[in-house]
Amino acid sequence: MTQIPDVAVHHETVVPQAQQDITDGGPDMVQFVDGEGTRLERTPANTPYADIVEALTPEDGRSMYRDLVLVRRLDAEGHALQRQGELGLWPSLLGQEAAQVGAGRAMRSQDFAFPGYREHGVAWCRGIEPEQLLALFRGVDNGGWSPSELNYHLYTIVIGNQMLHATGYAMGMQRDGVVGTGDEERDAAVMAFTGDGGTAQGDFNESLVFAGVANAPLVIFVQNNQWAISEPNYKQFRVPPYQRAQGFGFPGIRVDGNDVLAVYAVTKAALDNARSGQGPTLIEAFTYRLGAHTTSDDPTKYRSAAEVDIWREKDPIKRMRGFLSQKGYADDAFYASVDREADELAVRVRTACQNMPEPSQERMFDEIYVDPHPVVEREKAQFLEYQAGFETEGAR
Ligand SMILES: Cc1ncc(C[n+]2csc(CCOP(=O)(O)OP(=O)(O)O)c2C)c(N)n1
Ligand SMILES: [Mg+2]
């Protein structure tokens, strides 16, 4: 079991002005590889998690790299498909691949995740088919997948709302007796994903009160990508998210969100603790949204190219590739085979997306309630009559 150290609120990091350096995570940040992929020595921050990283095999490393590359390609295809009019919207995860793959891979099948709307990398790790994500953003499906099949809840657009669902679900797991039994196959925990902007919501703070008081098996995973659309961090909080956990009575960790090994290790430690009955942990993955907020946004209106360039240097895929090469765990043939797989994935999802059947318009009435409902039935009849009016108009 990993003893997660407490962190104190550092008053020097309480900087409400725009002068905050949003490119440097500071000495508390858990990191295992630097920007070039060189494995770092033990530090006070990373030592508690070093055993977890050291237990990973070269095959684990290659498989993480593969996930990073495939998820980035899926994201690029989602973006391109939206630009070509095939999707209504696409929220890109570009730059956040390591945060999501590291977190997703640390989960066990019996754990349950509650995502926001950008967590395509976690979805990938849970086994959600990429086509299901595209169907959602194409608007031909009401949700995309069944939450109970792979223990991955539907995307939530209402900022912070999923935190309450996740906390309630975690408290339910306690009541179901699947926490702290010592049975590794059975004990379970919940992961709740939100952004830096999400931490300013009432729902987020209320959830943390409940999670702390109930000692719920919950890992709160905040992807601090430095922006909430056009709102910078200093308008969201004075104390960084990882330091706020202390006020709710549980540990908080800041991890380098672009270092997949570090994210995997801290998330695994936090989930193991949650499953064994030691309660919640807040993880702040310090990262950056390299692209626009969504395909409806233009980030050049509110942030500098210099800031983006600094973060581009911290690219999570470049780092993992550097690590694998330096260690001799992967060669050019391996990287080429992953690139080929990415090309195949791209063709597959594009073809699937373009061939998705259009649902009938009245389908929107069919899944509002489980059983037929008189108001919905009346509205559906009115809608069909209205639609039929166009047919006679055309015939005249
Ligand atoms: C309750 C609510 N308020 C406002 C919005 C509009 N909105 C959509 S995304 C967003 C910013 C969220 O930022 P953050 O939590 O940092 O997540 P990110 O998009 O950066 O991943 C806002 C304000 C919303 N969807 N829900
Ligand atoms: Mg954000």
Active-site choice (73, 244, 293, 321): 293
CB neighbour list of residue 133: distance below 8 Å, 6 or more residues apart: 74, 78, 120, 123, 144
Any idea which residue has 């702290």 for tokens?
Answer: 180
Every domain of the chain and the residues it spans? 11-354, 362-395
Interval between CA 240 and ligand 1 midpoint (Å): 18
Active site residue 302: yes
Is the Cβ atom of 198 under 6 angstroms away from ligand 1? yes
As beta bridge partners, residue 222 has 194, 284
Retrieve residue 184's tokens.
């590794």
Active site residue 155: no
The pLDDT profile of the chain, 396 residues, written as one tens digit per residue, is 788 887 766 666 555 555 678 999 999 999 999 999 999 999 999 999 999 999 999 999 999 999 999 999 999 999 999 999 999 999 999 999 999 999 999 999 999 999 999 999 999 999 999 999 999 999 998 888 999 999 999 999 999 999 999 999 999 999 999 999 999 999 999 999 999 999 999 999 999 999 999 999 999 999 999 999 999 988 889 899 999 999 999 999 999 999 999 999 999 999 999 999 999 999 999 999 999 999 999 999 999 999 999 999 999 999 999 999 999 999 999 999 999 999 999 999 999 999 999 998 888 898 889 999 999 999 999 999 998 998 776 655
Whether residue 293 has its Cβ less than 6 Å from ligand 1: yes
Which of 159, 226, 294, 295 to mutate for ligand 1's pocket (most ligand atoms within 8 Å of CB)?
159
The rounded Å distance from CA 253 to ligand 1 centre is 23
Nearest Cα neighbor of 128 from 160, 152, 92 is 152
Look at residue 362 in the predicted model and tell me its pLDDT.
86
Atom of ligand 1 nearest to the CA of 223: 21
Distance 17 CA to ligand 1 centre (A): 21
Q: Looking at the whole model, is its pTM more than 0.75?
A: yes
Helix axes 260-275, 58-83, angle to 10 degrees: 100
- Residue by residue, DSSP assigns 19-43 as T--TT---TT-B-SB-TT-PBPPP-
Nearest Cα to 157, choosing from 198, 189, 129?
A: 198
- Evaluate: CB of 95 within 6 angstroms of ligand 1: no
Q: Which one is catalytic: 118, 165, 254, 289? A: 289
Q: Is the CB of 269 under 6 A from ligand 1?
A: no
Q: Which of 42, 302, 369, 373 is catalytic?
A: 302
Answer yes or no: are the C-beta atoms of 288 and 94 closer than 8 Å: no
Instruction: State which ligand 1 atom lies nearest to the alpha carbon of 293.
Output: 19
Q: Quote the pLDDT of residue 366.
A: 87
∠ CA 215-219-225, rounded to 5°: 140
pLDDT of residue 336: 98
The answer to whether 3 touches 48, Cβ cutoff 8 Å, is yes
Tally the C-alpha atoms within 13 A of residue 331's C-alpha that lie toward its C-beta.
Answer: 1
Report the relative pairing of strands 227-228 and 231-232 from DSSP bridges.
antiparallel
CA of 31 to the centre of ligand 1 (A): 27
Respond yes or no: is residue 152 known to be catalytic.
no
CATH topology of domain 11-354: Rossmann fold (3.40.50)
